């Protein structure tokens, strides 16, 4: 039975530790490959065989969360539930703080303070308590456990003082109310800031047109234009796209010409001219012209849909460095509870402080130590880094890929179609029997039976030649192609490996044509360097990254290209299996990237620490590597590495801040230097600092 992958939207999580509690709950139900992300309010997992999606949803809803299958991006009018909670708490908390600055003695009375603090306490207990209970059910104490204990201790102690008439020294209702209000304010700031880090998905969704013009024919042959929704478009439909419109789906132009902005794929806004027979991608913009388009991929099959799905998967996959924060967060709360209890006992019994002061210090420890910033440190930076890459036409498949790419030490390049354009030209044909026309006929006849880029280029160069009939076609990767003609002669076309078998031929040639083992002709081919190759290799050299050329082409040509580009090492005339072994040997000793065309280099892409595809905007390219340069712009390779390095640097900064903050703040709270209200404000600041530091990535130029 096939695995069923489910994505749910979970509303009501207000911190990363809430997400961790839900994640543990899903695992306890038997779900696998679980990832619950607070930043995008989503859960992705493989459904356990014994349960349905509805069962899982109901189970999550019993924890107090709302669930859905789709996330709406429409902003509802009015205030959100969190905003209403915060404003209500603020309105009741402010009068409790006013007596600190103004002589309003009526507000000091226990009854008035109790009336003002109770609504805030109820809101705080219901809001944070649900998450705390959920985490405890999952056998994990999250940050809300600390908040709940803090406000219950402050409110409960004050209520006891009120009921027993113990006087103002036993009242600190304002502490319970202020902690609740400030932490709610922090959650509100987090919610708004996190929305900015997750904007990449929403921006990609916004690219997709919702309506299209469908072209039909009436019974009398007249052309009719119907306005249809995106969901009504089917493969084979003819669509009209005019200037200023977005292309609705992937397809092929069957009439007209246009200038198209393909920046959603390439990251470059320079328009591309497209005419009859050209492929176009859904979501791109017609700047000028008008075309009739035949739909070839719709719905979830379009390139844009694949990109959105891949970005979602990428943002859900955690880099290894995140495990540091996750492990600390999982043990942090029990440690803090112990320190808080220890503070209470030592200050009250050993140091002989008043019960009020001892409790305030214990509460300050609980509040200041909330590890929310640790939970936000990695995912917020990953969200921004991957989103920034996607908008530039660079798809990074996950936070783990991002970290690996940032740490790459060696980059191995395929030659044909990667460092070179793959568009070959015949420099000259050297006939060895003085019959160039006969050689051309054999070359064209056998080249047209192969899909290899060199064969296709050779066929285009010899177009117009009359072919002969060939049979028993056999193509061997890394060697060449062979066939038999009507006279049972064995015709073979290949490179250096074939020449080694038979001998003969010209040393400077790229291809050799053999008939029954005798070299009939040698062919010199020219392949221009890909635009940006020189700049890319220079950028890698500046970063002290080792570069390697790995190709099946002849040694001489490979060495010429390597010398021209400044590549460190060259491996030429290698078979596919030999390429795999070389990539594997580099990957064993250093973090290694392999850059190929995403189609015939798939094994090597998989063998490397990180595979980078320059396969163009095709489904094969999107699926074949961990990093995809959608427009095949080689210069985006150095940009991708730069984004990865900056993102990893920000993650490290965030984790350092989160750790440093707690290490510094807890002792200060234990010593009574920070009271609970200041502690709550400082805790909120640490969360906002981490998110703000991540958002810097958006503005940074690379």
All residues at 6 or more sequence positions from 390 whose CB lies less than 8 Å from its CB, including other chains: 200, 204, 307, 311, 396
Active site residue 601: no
Q: Using alpha carbons, select from 640, 636, 654 the residue that is nearest to residue 696.
A: 654
Please give the Cα distance from 679 to 376 (Å, whole number): 19
Segment (H or E) for 85: helix 81-97
Q: CB within 8 A of 74, min separation 6: which ones?
A: none
Task: State how far the alpha carbon of 454 is from the alpha carbons of 101, 505, 553, in Å.
Answer: 83, 18, 11
Residues in a beta bridge with 361? none
Query: Is residue 442 helix, strand or coil?
Result: helix
Element (H, E) at 321: none
What burial letters (b/e) apply to 204-233, b meaning 16+ CB within 10 Å?
beeebbeebbbbeeeeeeeeeeeebeeeeb
Pairing mode, strands 610-613 and 627-629: parallel
**347: its two tokens:** 């200050």
Q: What is the DSSP string of 139-152?
A: T---HHHHHHHHHH
Q: Of 84, 103, 107, which is closest to residue 94 (Cα–Cα)? A: 107
Percent helix / strand / coil, the chain, rounded to 5: 55, 20, 25
Closest CA to 307 of 265, 268, 266: 265
3-state secondary structure 608-672: CCEEEECCCCCHHHHHHCCEEECCCCCHHHHHHHHHHHHHHHHHHHHHHHHHHHHHHHHHHHHCC
Instruction: Quote the CA–CA distance of 399 and 316 in Å, as a whole number.
Output: 8
CA 310 to chain centre: 7
Tell me the backbone φ, ψ of residue 634, rounded to 5 degrees: -65, -30
d(CA 500, CA 684): 71
Q: Where are the alpha helices (DSSP H) in 165-277?
A: 173-197, 199-207, 263-266
Which is the catalytic residue, given 37, 237, 245, 414?
414
CA distance 533 to 539: 10
Q: And the tokens for 274?
A: 């497209």
* CA-to-CA separations, 678 to 182, 278, 541, in angstroms, rounded: 9, 63, 50
Residue 106 pairs with which residues in a beta bridge?
none
Residue 289 backbone class (left: φ over 0; alpha: ψ -120 to 50; beta: rest): left
Buried b (16+ CB within 10 A) or exposed e, 616-635: bbbeebbebbbbbbbbbbbb
Nearby residues of 396 by Cβ (< 8 Å), 6 or more positions away: 314, 385, 386, 389, 390, 402, 405, 626, 627, 640, 643, 644
Indicate the burial class of 101 (C-beta count within 10 angstroms; 0-12, 13-18, 19 or more).
exposed
Residues 16/131, Cβ–Cβ less than 8 Å: no
DSSP state of 246: B
Which residues are the active-site residues?
A: 414
């Amino acid at each position: 039975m096939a695995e069923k992958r489910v994505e749910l939207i979970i509303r009501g999580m207000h911190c990363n530790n809430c997400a961790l509690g839900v994640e543990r709950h899903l695992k306890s139900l038997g779900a696998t490959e679980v990832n619950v992300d607070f930043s995008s309010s989503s859960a992705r997992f493989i459904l356990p065989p014994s349960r349905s999606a509805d069962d899982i949803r109901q189970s999550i809803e019993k924890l107090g969360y709302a669930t859905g299958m789709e996330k709406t991006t429409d902003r509802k009018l009015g205030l959100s539930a969190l905003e209403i909670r915060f404003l209500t708490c603020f309105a009741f908390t402010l009068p409790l703080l006013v007596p600190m600055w103004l002589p309003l003695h009526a507000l000091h009375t226990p009854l008035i303070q109790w009336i003002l603090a109770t609504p805030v306490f109820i809101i705080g207990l219901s809001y944070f308590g649900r998450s705390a209970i959920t985490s405890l059910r999952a056998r994990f104490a999250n940050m809300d456990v600390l908040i709940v204990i803090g406000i219950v201790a402050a409110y409960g102690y004050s209520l006891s003082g009120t009921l027993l008439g113990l006087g103002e020294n036993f009242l600190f209702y304002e502490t319970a109310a202020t902690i609740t209000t400030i932490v709610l304010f922090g959650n509100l700031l987090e919610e708004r800031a996190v929305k900015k880090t997750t904007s990449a998905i929403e921006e990609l969704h916004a690219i997709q047109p919702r309506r299209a013009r469908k072209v039909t024919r009436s019974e009398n042959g007249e052309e009719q234009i119907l306005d249809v929704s995106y969901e009504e478009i089917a493969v084979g439909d003819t669509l009209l796209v005019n200037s200023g419109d977005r292309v609705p789906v992937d397809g092929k132009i069957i009439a007209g010409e246009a200038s198209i902005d393909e920046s959603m794929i390439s990251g470059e806004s320079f328009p591309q001219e497209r005419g009859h027979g050209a492929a176009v991608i859904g979501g791109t913009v017609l700047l000028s012209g008008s075309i009739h388009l035949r739909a070839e991929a719709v719905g979830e099959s379009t390139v844009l849909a694949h990109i959105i799905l891949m970005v979602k998967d990428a943002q859900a996959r955690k880099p290894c460095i995140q495990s540091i924060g996750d492990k600390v967060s999982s043990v942090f709360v029990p440690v803090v509870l112990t320190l808080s209890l220890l503070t209470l006992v030592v200050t009250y019994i050993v140091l002989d402080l008043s019960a009020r002061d001892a409790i305030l210090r214990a509460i300050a420890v609980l509040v200041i130590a909330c590890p929310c910033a640790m939970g936000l440190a990695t995912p917020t930076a990953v969200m921004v880094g991957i989103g920034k890459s996607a908008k530039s036409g660079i798809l990074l498949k996950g936070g783990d890929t991002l970290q690996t790419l940032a740490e790459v030490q060696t980059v191995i390049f395929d030659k044909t179609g990667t460092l070179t354009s793959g568009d070959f030209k015949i420099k000259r044909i050297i006939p060895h029997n003085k019959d160039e026309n006969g050689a051309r006929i054999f070359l064209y006849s056998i080249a047209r039976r192969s899909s290899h880029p060199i064969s296709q280029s050779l066929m285009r160069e010899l177009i117009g030649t009359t072919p002969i009939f060939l049979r028993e076609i056999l193509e061997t990767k890394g060697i060449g192609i062979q066939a038999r003609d009507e006279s049972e002669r064995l015709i073979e076309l290949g490179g250096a490996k074939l020449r080694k078998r038979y001998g003969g031929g010209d040393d400077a040639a790229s291809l050799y044509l053999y008939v029954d083992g005798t070299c009939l002709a040698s062919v010199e081919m020219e392949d221009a360097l890909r635009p940006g190759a020189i700049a890319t290799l220079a950028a890698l050299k500046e970063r002290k990254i080792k570069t390697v050329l790995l190709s099946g082409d002849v040694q001489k040509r490979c060495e010429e290209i390597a010398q021209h580009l400044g590549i460190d090492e060259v491996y030429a005339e290698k078979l596919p299996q030999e390429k795999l072994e070389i990539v594997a040997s580099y990957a064993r000793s250093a973090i290694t990237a392999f850059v190929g065309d995403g189609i015939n280099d798939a094994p090597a892409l998989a063998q490397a620490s990180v595979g980078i595809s320059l396969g163009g905007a095709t489904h094969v390219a999107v699926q074949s590597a961990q990093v995809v340069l959608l427009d095949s712009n080689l210069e985006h390779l150095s940009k991708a590495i730069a984004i990865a390095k900056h993102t990893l640097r920000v993650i490290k900064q965030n984790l350092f801040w989160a750790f440093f903050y707690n290490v510094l703040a807890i002792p200060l709270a234990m010593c009574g230097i920070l009271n609970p209200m200041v502690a709550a404000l400082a805790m909120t600041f640490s969360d906002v600092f981490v998110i703000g530091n991540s958002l810097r990535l958006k503005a940074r130029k690379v």
